[in-house]
Structure 1
Amino acid sequence: MRPVPTRSRRATAAAALAVSAALVLAGCGGGDDAESPFTPPKGDDSSASALGFPVVATRNTTRTGTKDPVDAAAAVARAAYPDGSEASRAKAVTIVDDQDWRTALAATSLAAPPIGAPLLFSDGAKLPDATVSAIDALKPSGSDAAGKAQAVLVGKVGRPSGLRTDAIEGADPYELARAIDRYTTQARGRSSDRVLVVSADRPEYAVPAAAWLAKSGDPLAFVTSKGIPPATARQLASHPKATIYVLGPSAVVRPSVTKQLRKYGTVKRVGGVSPTDNAIGFARYKDGSFGWNVNQPGHGFLIARDTDTLGAISLAPFAASGLHGPLLLLDSSDQLSVPVREYLRDVKQGYYPDDPTLDATAVARYNRAWLTGDVSQISAKVQAQIDTLLELAPVDDSPSGGDDGLPRDGSGTTTAPKSTTKAPATTTTPTPKAP
């Protein structure tokens, strides 16, 4: 995953759109050279194209169609906390500098209960228009766990006018991660007995943590290829005998580093070799109450390109509420990653249409996905393939059955959906390898 791009002129025309019965809120940016996904194709003046179909919304997917993470975060926050009732209102917002992906990643834990503050971005000391508009629309009520603050400012960022604010300060991302940990510990009234550790050097392996942090509120700590930074060492020492989950393969977080981590608690490695496999490995993982354990249907998936660091992080608030689900990463703009395709196929809901004993569709568990990025990052074709893989489908047990119109894995075989309402599949949590 590439580093966060330098600040550039942004198209912040409209941070969100409401589309029909589906909640479709999306930033309309995309950079100077990118066509907005809301622009109808030439010669097509249909109302569907004008509203962004099928790029923004399909049967089972919704997308924030922008390259700009500032717009994406603003759209996600408004979609996750829609205006209309006190029950859906955000308690607070978290504001982080858009040049600091590490702090942004650690700060996603502030979206979890009891603080409930979705992530928004600052442009240094200035608040972009999209962020200001999102705050105005969200009207945060104030988080009791954050001392009634309506905005939590992490690092040196712009201060929204008219809101009660609280600040989390630190000299660098490692100190800020530690300070965020202290802040959430105070809010919960107890220290966490688990810490998620990621590489500070390889964001493409670290960002799958975002969704889990927003759901669980677990603390995040950073290590580097050289070892454990002093601030991280102090952070880990504040969680005596914790279980330390290392996200990423040994090529990213080296065995020499995990050996040092054992001073602070039990170390378990999670993930996979490639960024895509790493995200799927985390999605499947379960260890007691830790981990998604998403091995059956009935979940909301978050999907981003493995090069879109802040875009992936911006999706995290969707894991804090609604249909919780893990973050998956794609390694191509115009080809659906094989591991993602096979994983979604494995957790696809199936039913037997001729079963007279059961209205299968009435008790089915449905999958959905929220994507981020414009069509240069994730093409409409790939989105359509993901939509098909999420669709509730009848099971065909014949030798040629189960064809969903997508390419198979080279074996030439077809696979019926693994989970059915007639006989749900059982799953086994992968056993973690030794760190």
Structure 2
Amino acid sequence: MRALPPRPVPRLLLAVVLVLGSAATSCGKGAARQAGEGAPALRALSKSPTPPGAVSIATKNTIRLGGTDAASDAAAVARAVYPGLTPATRPQAIVLVNERSWAASLAASVLAGVPLGAPLLYADGDSLPAPSAQALGALHPTGSAALEGAQVIEIGTSAPVPSSLRVRQLALGSEPGGDQAAAISAAVERLLQALTGRTPRSFIIVPSEAPRSLQMPAAGLAAESGAPILLLGARGLAAATSSVLARAHRPSLYLVGDSSLGASARAALASYGRVSSASSEAGANRPAGSHEGADAVKNAIAVSRFGRGAFGWNIHEAGHGLVFASASRPLDAPAAAPLSAHGDYAPLLLLEGAGSVPPALAHYLSDIEPGYSAAVPPVRAVYNHGWVIGDESAISAHAQAEIDAALEVAPRSPSPEEAPPAASE
């Protein structure tokens, strides 16, 4: 087990490169609509996937995507996953979600997984931030046959999009008693069911009253697993949630950020299916002086380690992609969800502050550190790779350098199975 390098950071070549950071409906029978007048025109296919704008830092084991805000981060991730230069690098559809609605943003993360594989972009209410507009003009979605050719799915927003794109708005409905989060997540589940043609057998249950930093890992888990997120309100199971679970006929229910969930709520969930916690108890009985950020770090690690059969990341060894984000920027979790369902399928890990890697995360990275030996040389070893989300106000260059060092493949002693046989007399 190798500790992270202490301050000051050893000399590390940081290559400053231009990356993709600046680009940083009802699921029923309604037809997709054409974008209305006043929407920006779709630009011609770009000759380069790298737009002008923010400068980011890449190291040998990490790449930084994004900028100063969630819209920039989402656009950068979208452009990294889908450069849009060939038919194979164009998405079927793009999800455009209102960043002012945390429930919509988190629930929409599942759409980054199969079968839609949609990148997520942010609207600001009914306006379109510049990074989102640039990405919409560059991704060139092909259209989803399951959604009548829709190329953009708007959730909680009516922001104008390029006039040549077909748009479907997701009708969010309402919930008696005002539990809008439950209604939103149920609407996304219905859309997912329309896409797959079947009822989900697994669900991710997230208490909407939990700190958002504890809810963040659900985004990547939903994208990777294809299990929709259902948000559980303070009053317990809303009618919309109960309806979804009853229709699923005893599904598996996986809790994330559930440390404050009461016994009655757990019992109510258990009446609909088998309940397991993918999370930690970091938020329960917190000792004096503990911080929400530290709880969030441990919670994300617990979700990364969790596995039940085929469900969950179950990461206890080297050979994985990893997403690193700030616990203080919750919207970066849905923004980064496509990285959990494409490429090296990376779970979300969190830093509680921008300056350095927290001890709990350092320990986890040491546990899954890649290694090589005389029997398994570096060229035959497995590797870890990190995606760093946001600018240096989210995760500093120093912290990125620490992450880079922790991900580096290192020498180790061969196991008994790898040891060469003793020479005979």
- Same-fold call, TM cutoff 0.5: yes
Query: 1:66 offset after TM fit, Å?
Result: 1.8
- Partner residue, 1:248: 257
Q: Is the 8 A contact 2:101 2:156 kept in 1?
A: no
Q: Does 1:318 align with 2:345?
A: no
> Where do residues 103-182 of structure 1 align in structure 2 (5 Å cutoff)?
103-160=104-161, 161-170=163-172, 171=174, 172-182=180-190
Q: Is the 8 A contact 1:350 1:421 kept in 2?
A: no
Q: Is the 8 A contact 2:213 2:327 kept in 1?
A: yes
Q: 1:189, 1:362 → 2: CA distance?
A: 43
Closer, same or farther in 2 for the Cα pair 1:271/1:326, shift >3 Å? Answer: same
Q: 2:18, 2:308 → 1: CA distance?
A: 34
- Partner residue, 2:359: 338
Query: 1:267 offset after TM fit, Å?
Result: 1.0
Q: Is the 8 A contact 2:325 2:351 kept in 1?
A: yes
Q: Does 1:368 align with 2:366?
A: no
User: Which structure has more RCO (C-alpha within 8 Å, separation ≥ 6)?
Assistant: 2
> Which amino acid is 2:352 matched to?
D
Query: 1:224 offset after TM fit, Å?
Result: 2.6
Q: 1:139, 1:155 → 2: CA distance?
A: 22
Query: 1:22 offset after TM fit, Å?
Result: 8.1
Give the alignment's Cα RMSD to 1 decimal: 2.4
Q: Does 1:303 align with 2:303?
A: no
Closer, same or farther in 2 for the Cα pair 1:20/1:254, shift >3 Å? Answer: same
Residue by residue over 1:388-432, the C-alpha shift from the partner in whole angstroms, topping out at 9 and shown as x without a partner, is 0111111269xxxxxxxxxxxxxxxxxxxxx99948xxxxxxxxx
Q: Is the 8 A contact 1:301 1:369 kept in 2?
A: yes
Q: Is the 8 A contact 1:303 1:312 kept in 2?
A: no
Secondary structure of the 1:197 match is strand
> Which amino acid is 2:136 matched to?
I
Q: Does 1:191 align with 2:193?
A: no
Q: 1:245, 1:24 → 2: CA distance?
A: 35
Q: 1:120, 1:215 → 2: CA distance?
A: 18
The alignment of Structure 1 onto Structure 2 pairs a total of residues equal to 357
Q: Does 1:377 align with 2:377?
A: no
> Where do residues 56-135 of structure 1 align in structure 2 (5 Å cutoff)?
56-135=57-136
Q: 2:317, 2:97 → 1: CA distance?
A: 35
Secondary structure of the 1:304 match is strand
Q: Does 1:25 align with 2:33?
A: no
Q: Does 1:228 align with 2:237?
A: yes
Query: 1:351 offset after TM fit, Å?
Result: 0.8
> Where do residues 262-281 of structure 1 align in structure 2 (5 Å cutoff)?
262-272=270-280, 273=282, 274-281=295-302
Query: 1:248 offset after TM fit, Å?
Result: 2.3
Q: 1:231, 1:159 → 2: CA distance?
A: 30
Query: 1:380 offset after TM fit, Å?
Result: 1.2
> Which amino acid is 1:229 matched to?
A
Residue by residue over 1:143-185, the C-alpha shift from the partner in whole angstroms, topping out at 9 and shown as x without a partner, is 2233221111112331412211222111433212111101111
Q: Is the 8 A contact 2:23 2:76 kept in 1?
A: no
- Partner residue, 2:218: 209
Q: 2:155, 2:76 → 1: CA distance?
A: 20
Residue by residue over 1:277-331, the C-alpha shift from the partner in whole angstroms, topping out at 9 and shown as x without a partner, is 1111110111011100111111111111111111222111111210001101111
Closer, same or farther in 2 for the Cα pair 1:64/1:338, shift >3 Å? Answer: same
Q: 1:56, 1:90 → 2: CA distance?
A: 26
Query: 1:200 offset after TM fit, Å?
Result: 0.8
Q: 1:23, 1:271 → 2: CA distance?
A: 36
Which residues of structure 2 form unaligned runs of 5+? Answer: 1-13, 25-52, 175-179, 283-294, 420-425
Q: 2:157, 2:333 → 1: CA distance?
A: 22
Q: 2:165, 2:370 → 1: CA distance?
A: 45
- Partner residue, 1:283: 304
- Partner residue, 1:351: 372
* TM-score, normalisation: structure 2: 0.79
Q: Is the 8 A contact 1:28 1:66 kept in 2?
A: no
Which residues of structure 1 form unaligned runs of 5+? Answer: 1-18, 30-49, 398-418, 424-435
Q: 2:388, 2:96 → 1: CA distance?
A: 22
Q: Is the 8 A contact 2:203 2:227 kept in 1?
A: yes
Q: 2:416, 2:19 → 1: CA distance?
A: 30
Closer, same or farther in 2 for the Cα pair 1:377/1:422, shift >3 Å? Answer: farther
- Partner residue, 1:37: none
Closer, same or farther in 2 for the Cα pair 1:99/1:422, shift >3 Å? Answer: farther
Closer, same or farther in 2 for the Cα pair 1:173/1:250, shift >3 Å? Answer: closer
